[in-house]
Amino acid sequence: MLEQLKDLHAQALDELNKVNNPRELELWRIRHLGKKSSLTKVLRSLATLPLEERRKGGAKANEIKKALESSLEEKEKLLQEALFTSPLESQRLDITLPGRPLPTGRLHPTNQALNEICDVFKNMGFQVIEGPDVEWDYYNFEALNIPQHHPARDMFATLWIDAGLGGKARLLRTHTSPMQIRLMERERPPIRAIVPGRAYRYEATDATHESMFYQVEGLAVDKGITLADLKGTLFDFCRCLFGEERKVRFRCDYFPFVEPGVEVAIGCSACDGAGCRLCSYSGWLEILGAGMVHPDVLARVDIDPELYSGFAFGLGVERIPMLRYGIDDIRLFYSNDLRFLRQF
Amino acid sequence: MKVSLKWLRDYVDIKLTPEELAERLTMAGLEVKGIQTMGGTWDNVVIGEVIALNPHPNADRLKLATVDLGTEQVSTVCGAPNIGLGQRVTFARIGARLIDPHTGEAIVLEPAEIRGVASEGMVCSEKELGISDSHEGILVLSPEAPIGTPLGAYLGDVIFDLDVTPNRPDCLSVIGIAREIAALTDEPLRLFPIHYEELEDSIDSFAAVDIADSDLCPRYCASLITGIKLASSPGWLQQRLNSCGMRPINNVVDVTNYVMLEYGQPLHAFDYHKLKGRQIIVRRAGSGETITTLDGSERALTPDILVIADKEEAVAIAGIMGGLDSEVTDKTDAILLESANFNQATIRRDCSHLQVQSEASIRFDKGLNSKLPLIPLKRATQLLLELAGGRAAKGIIDVYPRKSKPKPILLSAQEVKRLSGLKVNIDEILKVLKALGFECQEDDSGSQLSVSVPYWRSDVKCSADLVEEIVRIIGYEKIPITRLGSPLPQQKSKLSPSAQQSNLKEKLRNILAGFGFQEILTYSLVSLEKLQKLSPKLELKISPLKVANPMTREQEYLRTSLRAGLLSTLAHNQKFEQEGIRLFEIGKVFLPQHPPVIASEAKQSQEERELPQEKEMLCAMLSGPRTELSWQADNEPLDFFDAKGVVENLLNQLGLKASFNIGDDEILFPGRGADIIVEDDKVGIVGDVHPMVAQAFELSNAVCFMEVDVEKLLTMITGTKKYQPLSRFPSVTRDIALVIDEQVSYQTVENIIRSFPLVKHVTLFDLYRGEQIPKGKKSFAIRIVYQSPKHTLTDEEVDQTQEQMLSRLHQELGATLRD
Ligand SMILES: [Zn+2]
């Protein structure tokens, strides 16, 4: 009797192994666990046996039944999984068909760069402020130590609104620096702000010159601010934008409204410092002018230059995407050709 | 400013390589833009003498030249018109590296036969040697050029091209640059004593100088030389002028130029005998006065122009250019040499007035010190006596009505540290300042210096200027790198509104880019024509601000809206794009008039009101098919409802709810445009661009458009978003289909539905016109979601509400339920 049960079990498991789909599994269940299965027959036949044998056989038969049931469950699971892992042919997709199109929008590369720049300085505690594009001669020049007939006016070819009015003339700002004065007129130290915006020049356009471009002006004024702080701030900035590896050069330069004055350049990305057309064979690309706010400028807005000091910087925005993406013509920025804009 | 290394070495020992020197100068503020090595490629070029010239047998314009190279004689064919017997010339042998004068490219000289005659090399022009662009004739060297010597040994040099900043006119001179190098490399500066013999007769017996307008001419010095002989300058002098990019002319003019390059002081030589009345008067020009200048042009003068005059008329425009009449010529035998100081602003103004610039004016217009003229005058007099002969009158004329007395500047090591962050001791400071020519006196405590500024450094005026001098000579690379340690400014300040506005703009940009719009940035300046084309009647509602000196007509007026920029961009891109285009720009428009002041808000100053109102606007345009061409999408054109959807979704993201009234802005196609209303205020417009406007911009497709006043939005969004508790009770959804007259707007239907408090959402999900409903009617299919915040709605409640709703819709709008 017990031998017979053992054989039944072995045979059922053997058959189960060969089952490949749910239909076969159902047939298997009917055959081995159904009302007409051999196992049921054995169980029924137990009634004719002596008590002791009946008890032993019954226990064994129930044990095998349970074992088969759990094997069945396992097999069911396996088949189910197999169903999802190898789907039916009719459900198969040509996954190489293109996806449904979505309209894609992008920010202008200048604004992408502006966002990046502003984020770096925001994290350093600078507020983002804007100012007027149409300015007084006073803010654009005079208050920045560039009076009428100052030789530094040569550095700023100007588009004028009013011609020949001297200090009372309106103009299109040639840089974002007038906002240094407006900021300091409105606020007392500590001041920490950046001013993104447009600037304009009376200039024939070519691959490296535009009549309109974007700048970011920076200003920090308080007690104890030094040129070393300016250097640190700008080095930090360059690292954020151009990576740790890029060389940064911090050299003396002249702007009438700062003293000492600074120019910051980064190692040319095109030639790695060896010299090429992009960097005029110098190995360096100028990205911003800076310096300590000139004491006369501070005094003009009633900030005591003996007590307070500050730094200012002006950064050309388009240069950053130009350097990063190797754009060799600044005129592409504001001619707004979608074939250009969609690359960024 | 171009400067020769050879020349610099007269004044300072230079041990650095040219590249190292350029690096040091650049770091210290004197940027070297380029280094040109002259003679680096001249290994096969030698100096020779033309010893025979014969006509070419087969060509009239060519000559056969025999050139003596010392060890050998070579023959060559030469077509240069200026070749002459006995000249010292440069001879390039076969294999020499030259510049092709026609292409500008480097070539190697190959054996050649010119019209049947073989050449063993060639006589070169300056261009072929890479010295200059001159190719009118061959380079003729001075008679003392040593025959047989390689050209590199004779003419070879390194030329630095310096970008001198406007504050450093002293560096528009060789000595000035040498002084910088001396300070930077810790070498002494060598200056030479000036001495010459003078006549018995005092200069005062020859000439007199009178400064009539001393406000414009603080000083005028002059010397006088008689018995002078005009000739070519010696080779060394010509070479030096050439190396600095100046053309040699004759010994007198060359000496004035040479000394100007050497000291930075412009000089001018007058033909003494042509000065009527033997006198010089420095005065403002008379009205109607004219002068013919050295360049041959007759110039009308005005009373604000400063001239140098003799007794009768102007003989030079002060500091800018001499007059033709008093010019030095080969008949000249006596000259009056001028070395003066002129008011910087005057020279600048006169230059821009007369549209002229010269080597003299670019120095004067930077501001030279009135102490400068004397030494260069003596130097030039000495050189002229050496090179042009003659005798100098005794003494010099020095009219100096306006002496300037600069005050010393106080400086401490502490101040250097306070501004630069660089710790230096007083000895280091002393060393740097002395090397640059500053004189320093320590006070008793030894902590403070009293610094006298040398006359050639008028740019140094305050202690910050001195700090820069110290730091740049020590080296900017030595400055520590620190982070800002000062306290942060207050979060809330007068600057906050501007900061909020820039945050809002950033948010709008991101939302629109998310909606699939490409951001563009267009010029603030546009043409008048484009502004006019924005109106179907070509009228300007706002007269735009005009630029007084526009570069082009395309960029002459400040934009009063973003419309023209977007339409032009669409037109430009339509040529390349088959797909739909969605564009937006957020930027300023410039309105000449500010809105009238409300008394309580009169915080704008008059000055601000005289500037145009700069208003931030958002403008977007859509045109072309709604989706890209695809195997899976419809290809309907973008229309009004796409634009409106953008407006609704955009405002929704800002927490604002818009309603729409019929709009009449002239850019809109009548009947297809709307005003955008938020909180009873018009914030913008949306609609189809008037086809006449689109046509004027050469647009082939229909264009939809939206425009929003960003500043108005800013005033509305502050604190508008508030959390709404989530209802705990289930909602009930009902769909209805209404048949209604064509004239009834959807908005009126929705308004009635929404007036029932239990209505939570209303969605129009179908609009039908057609066979199944009567003509002149349309059908709205509307989904209504009912919900109560207080209890679970029963079917009876919803039925009751909907019945009331339908009867109102019927009574007020004639709407019926569709069967
Ligand atoms: Zn490069």
pLDDT digits (tens, 9 = 90+) for A263-299: 999 988 878 888 887 787 888 989 999 999 999 999 9
CB of B606 less than 8 A from some CB of A: no
CA–CA gap between residue B25 and residue B163 (Å, rounded): 10
CA nearest neighbour of B534 among B707, B692, B698 = B692
What are B468-497's pLDDT values in tens digits?
999 999 999 999 999 998 777 776 666 677
CA–CA gap between residue B224 and residue B205 (Å, rounded): 11
What are A154-185's pLDDT values in tens digits?
888 999 998 866 668 999 999 999 999 999 99
Instruction: Look at A164-173, B19-28, B174-183 and tell me which has the smallest mean pLDDT.
Output: A164-173
Give B800 to chain A, closest Cα distance, Å: 44
- Residues B95-104 have a mean pLDDT of 87
Predicted confidence band at B518 (pLDDT cuts at 50, 70, 90)?
Answer: very high
CB of B29 less than 8 A from some CB of A: yes
Among the four given CATH numbers 3.30.930.10, 2.40.100.10, 3.40.980.10, 3.90.1150.10, the one describing domain B497-596+609-717: 3.30.930.10
Looking at residue B492, its pLDDT comes to 65
Contacting A residues, span 17-56, partner chain B, CB-CB under 8 Å: none
Give me ligand 1 centre to Cα A196, in Å. Answer: 27
Contact B713, B787 (CB under 8 A): no
Most B-contacting residue of A116, A149, A153, A344 (CB-CB within 10 A), to test interface? A149
Q: What value does the mean pLDDT of chain A take?
A: 89
Give B406 to chain A, closest Cα distance, Å: 18
The shortest CB-CB distance from B548 to any of A132, A160, A256 is to A160
- Here the tokens at position A173 are 């700002």
Please state the domain extents for chain B. Answer: 2-39+159-185, 45-155, 198-399, 409-478, 497-596+609-717, 732-817
The shortest CB-CB distance from B573 to any of A154, A211, A337 is to A337
Looking at residue A165, its pLDDT comes to 65
Q: Residue A240 gets which letter from DSSP?
A: H
Give B349 to chain A, closest Cα distance, Å: 7
Superfamily of domain B198-399: Phenylalanyl-trna Synthetase, Chain B, domain 3 (3.50.40.10)
Give me ligand 1 centre to Cα A231, in Å. Answer: 23
Q: What value does the mean pLDDT of chain B take?
A: 91
Looking at residue B634, its pLDDT comes to 75
Q: B467–A260: do the CB atoms touch at under 8 Å?
A: yes
CB of A127 less than 8 A from some CB of B: yes
Under CATH, which number does the domain B2-39+159-185 receive?
A: 3.30.56.10
Most B-contacting residue of A93, A116, A140, A161 (CB-CB within 10 A), to test interface? A161
CA–CA gap between residue A252 and residue B151 (Å, rounded): 38
Residue B493: Cβ-neighbour burial (10 angstroms; 0-12, 13-18, 19+)? middle
Q: Residue B281 gets which letter from DSSP?
A: E
Sign of CA dihedral B416, B420, B421, B422: negative
Which residues in chain A have their CB less than 8 angstroms from residue B345's CB?
148-149
Q: A203–B551: do the CB atoms touch at under 8 Å?
A: yes
Looking at residue B695, its pLDDT comes to 93
Q: Pseudo-torsion of CA B498, B499, B505, B506, nearest 10°?
A: 160
CA nearest neighbour of B517 among A106, A335, A102 = A106
pLDDT at B445 over 60: yes
Contacting B residues, span 159-188, partner chain A, CB-CB under 8 Å: 165-168
Give me ligand 1 centre to Cα A267, in Å. Answer: 8
- If one compares B812 and B41, the residue with the highest pLDDT of the two is B812
Instruction: Look at B443-452, B611-620, B640-649 and tell me which has the smallest mean pLDDT.
Output: B443-452
What are B246-300's pLDDT values in tens digits?
989 999 999 999 999 999 999 999 999 999 999 999 999 998 899 999 999 999 9
Contact B393, B224 (CB under 8 A): yes
Residues in Cβ contact with B125 at an 8 Å cutoff, skipping those fewer than 6 apart: B80, B101, B134, B135, B136, B137, B138, B139
Give me ligand 1 centre to Cα B30, in Å. Answer: 20
Cα angle B315-B316-B320, degrees, rounded to a multiple of 5: 175
- Residues A10-18 have a mean pLDDT of 87
Give B180 to chain A, closest Cα distance, Å: 13
Looking at residue A167, its pLDDT comes to 67
Predicted confidence band at B649 (pLDDT cuts at 50, 70, 90)?
Answer: very high
Q: Top-level CATH class of B409-478?
A: alpha beta
CB of B494 less than 8 A from some CB of A: yes
- Here the tokens at position B205 are 């017996």
Looking at residue B597, its pLDDT comes to 64
Predicted confidence band at B633 (pLDDT cuts at 50, 70, 90)?
Answer: confident
Give B411 to chain A, closest Cα distance, Å: 12
Looking at residue B489, its pLDDT comes to 75
Looking at residue A317, its pLDDT comes to 95
Q: A338–B518: do the CB atoms touch at under 8 Å?
A: yes
Residue B417 host element (H or E): helix B413-420
Residue A271 host element (H or E): none
Residue B589: Cβ-neighbour burial (10 angstroms; 0-12, 13-18, 19+)? buried
Pick the residue from chain A with its C-alpha nearest to B613.
A132
What are B551-604's pLDDT values in tens digits?
999 999 999 999 999 999 999 998 888 788 999 999 999 999 877 765 544 456
CA nearest neighbour of A227 among B41, B634, B467, B432 = B467
CATH 2.40.50.140 fits B45-155, yes or no: yes
Q: Note the Cα B636 to chain centre separation in Å.
A: 47
Other Cβ atoms within 10 Å of B771 Cβ, number: 7
CA nearest neighbour of B622 among B612, B636, B602, B608 = B636
First to last CA, chain B: 92
What are the phi and psi torsion angles at B152 (to 5°)?
-60, -35
Fold (CATH) for B732-817: Alpha-Beta Plaits (3.30.70)
Q: What percent of chain B has pLDDT over 90?
A: 68
CB of B709 less than 8 A from some CB of A: no
pLDDT at B618 over 50: yes
- Residues B777-802 have a mean pLDDT of 93
Residue with tokens 């509400």: B801
Strand, coil or helix: B549: coil
Looking at residue B600, its pLDDT comes to 47
Which residues in chain B have their CB less than 8 angstroms from residue A277's CB?
none
CB of A157 less than 8 A from some CB of B: no
- Residues A72-85 have a mean pLDDT of 82
Could you tell me whether strands B314-317 and B306-309 are parallel, antiparallel, or unpaired per DSSP bridges?
antiparallel
Sign of CA dihedral B371, B373, B376, B381: negative
Residue B11 host element (H or E): none
pLDDT at B317 over 80: yes
Distances (CA, A) of B146 to B53, B87, B158: 21, 12, 21
The shortest CB-CB distance from B520 to any of A127, A203, A341 is to A341
Q: A103–B582: do the CB atoms touch at under 8 Å?
A: yes
Looking at residue B720, its pLDDT comes to 57
- Residues B498-510 have a mean pLDDT of 89
Give A327 to chain B, closest Cα distance, Å: 17
Give me ligand 1 centre to Cα A274, in Å. Answer: 6
Instruction: Look at A95-99, B14-18, B567-571 and tell me which has the smallest mean pLDDT.
Output: A95-99
What are the phi and psi torsion angles at B415 (to 5°)?
-65, -40
Q: Please tell me if the domain spanning B409-478 has the same topology as the one spanning B732-817.
A: no
Predicted confidence band at B200 (pLDDT cuts at 50, 70, 90)?
Answer: confident
- Here the tokens at position B525 are 């300046």
Which residues in chain B have their CB less than 8 angstroms from residue A107's CB?
509-510, 513, 519
Which residues in chain A have their CB less than 8 angstroms from residue B518's CB?
105-106, 338, 341-342
Contact A115, A216 (CB under 8 A): no
Q: Pseudo-torsion of CA B752, B757, B763, B769, nearest 10°?
A: -20
What are the phi and psi torsion angles at A96 (to 5°)?
-90, -5
Residue B75: beta bridge partners?
A: B66
Give A328 to chain B, closest Cα distance, Å: 19
Q: B611–A211: do the CB atoms touch at under 8 Å?
A: no
Contacting B residues, span 350-369, partner chain A, CB-CB under 8 Å: 365-367
Q: Note the Cα B386 to chain centre separation in Å.
A: 45
Q: B580–A187: do the CB atoms touch at under 8 Å?
A: no
Q: B477–A341: do the CB atoms touch at under 8 Å?
A: no
Instruction: Look at A86-100, B339-353, B630-644, B684-698 and tell me which has the smallest mean pLDDT.
Output: A86-100
Residues in Cβ contact with B616 at an 8 Å cutoff, skipping those fewer than 6 apart: B501, B505, B586, B587, B588, B709, B710, B711
* Most confident among A58-72, A88-102, A244-258 (mean pLDDT): A244-258
